Amino acid sequence: MNSLTETKRRPTDWQGAEMQQRIARRYAAERRFKALGMAAVMLSASFLAFLLVVMVGNGFRGFTQTELPVEIDFPAVTGGASPSQFQGPNANANVQSMGLREIVDSSIEIQYGQDGTNLFSSGGWTAVNAMILSNPDIVEQKATVYLPVISEIDVAYKDAGNPEAEQKVRELEDKLSTGFNWNFLSNSDATDPMQVGIWGAFKGSLITMIVTLLLAFPVGVLAALYLEEYAPKNRLTDLIEVSINNLAAVPSIIFGLLGLAVFLNFFGMPRSGALVGGLTLALMTMPVIVITGRNAVKSVPPSIREAALGIGASPLQVVFHHVLPLALPGILTGTIIGMARALGETAPLLMIGMRAFIATPPSGITDPATVLPVQIFLWSDEVDRGFVEKTSAAIIVLLLFLLTMNALAIYLRNRFETRW
């Protein structure tokens, strides 16, 4: 055997040209493979960068609005209203009754001609309303207010619009200016892109998230404690574990179907409300909390439990006085991650009717509400070009919240999680 191989094969000539070539080839393959891996990572990261650049580039303009100055001679048009009328408890009613809309429109017509009002966004006069309430002295003066123009001119001024609007922009070039769009932060949904805002959707998201948290957190934590600390090894426990793992992988839209069939049609809960939305999202978030909670409970070392048992604590006292406080940072991290996912969720909420046009912010858990991601979806469907930048601006707000929540989760993990 030994002699056979020796006669058939000469010792390898490592320094020979053939061998050198072969090694060079293998090293080249190694470099190519490594470069390929690097390229994959960079490509993935550049997708993220590209997405962010597109959203920020589009959305940044959503926070600004194009304005034209309007001079309002308050003493003349109001017939001598005094500032004291707009202070105190009756201020709101008095402003409402003064016919502000006509006042603003007539001031516009004086300066921009008969068709002047066509230049301005129809809800712009509400800005004057707010101005009087915040500074009643203004009604004794001549004041120049900056009012938002119609969406077509806004688009044309910022970017490129239709020829008609471009023509208008050229005519008014020296008067047009850009200001911060406060409406966007304080208004709700509207049909005019110049008047839309995210406050209603934001409030809806907030209420929905509170409902979700109140339901999913206690149930998730208690279930995690039971499964990790007390559950006997039997059929029922296996069934619970299988259910939880399944629920974590069920597509979110299925939860929407559940909410529609059970909460809306069977229990008859109010449609489009934050209550049903929160319930549906809670069912979705609970498995996430259970799974991360179990890992956090598992990582508490047995010596803690044994020490507590050793000094006479009951099994329940061991868990609630010792294990739970130590596992809490881990559980909170998981909860925040689960809540961040719920905050960005859209599909199940479409199923339970949270896609209606809602122009007033909800004030309770049963009021019709919408949430940020659904608002983004609704605006993305609008034909008006003015909505493009608003959609992206809303996306920026949503991403900011998600990033903050994730950063908080990472901070909690690094700050409080103990390595045993």
Partner 1 sequence: MTSATLLFLIIGLGLFAWFFGRLKASGLKASGKSSRSALHSLPNYHGWYVALWAIVPAAIFMAVWSFVSPALITDAALASPASAGLPQGAFARAAILSEARAIAYGNQVNAFNPLSQSMVEPYRDAISYYQMIGAVAALLMVFACGVYAWLQIKPDLRARTKIERVTMLILLLASLIAIVTTVGIFLSLVFETARFFSMVSPIDFLFGTEWNPRAVAGPRGETGFGAIPLFWGTVFIGAIIAMIVAIPLGLMSAIYLTQYAPAKLRAWMKPILEVLAGVPTVVYGYFAALTVAPALRDFAVSIGISGASSESALAAGVVMGIMIIPFVSSMADDSIAAVPSAMRDGSLAMGATHSETIKKVLIPAALPGVVGGVLLAVSRAIGETMIVVMAAGLAANMTVNPFSSVTTVTTQIVQLLTGDQEFDSPKTLAAFALGLVLFIVTLLLNLIALRVVKKYREAYE
Instruction: Report the alpha-carbon distance of residue 308 to residue 323 in Å, rounded.
Output: 10
At its nearest, how many Å lie between partner 1 and the CB of residue 363? 16
Residue 38 vs 93, nearer CB to partner 1: 38
Residue 23 vs 76, nearer CB to partner 1: 23
At its nearest, how many Å lie between partner 1 and the CB of residue 266? 8
Residue 128 vs 332, nearer CB to partner 1: 332
Is-contact 367 274, C-beta < 8 A? yes
Contacts 24+ apart (CB under 8 A), 53-58: 54/392, 55/392, 55/395, 55/396, 55/399, 56/392, 56/396, 57/392, 58/388, 58/389, 58/391, 58/392
At its nearest, how many Å lie between partner 1 and the CB of residue 209? 14
Is-contact 223 245, C-beta < 8 A? no
Residue 22 vs 175, nearer CB to partner 1: 22
Enter the tokens of residue 124. 């712009």
At its nearest, how many Å lie between partner 1 and the CB of residue 47? 5
Residue 26 vs 175, nearer CB to partner 1: 26
**CB atoms < 10 A from the CB of 95, how many?**
21
At its nearest, how many Å lie between partner 1 and the CB of residue 45? 5
At its nearest, how many Å lie between partner 1 and the CB of residue 164? 24
At its nearest, how many Å lie between partner 1 and the CB of residue 250? 7
At its nearest, how many Å lie between partner 1 and the CB of residue 71? 39
Enter the tokens of residue 21. 């070539």
Residue 100 vs 216, nearer CB to partner 1: 216
At its nearest, how many Å lie between partner 1 and the CB of residue 2? 21
Residue 130 vs 356, nearer CB to partner 1: 356
Residue 103 vs 388, nearer CB to partner 1: 388
Residue 34 vs 142, nearer CB to partner 1: 34
Question: Cβ contacts of residue 408 below 8 Å, gap of 6+?
Answer: 336
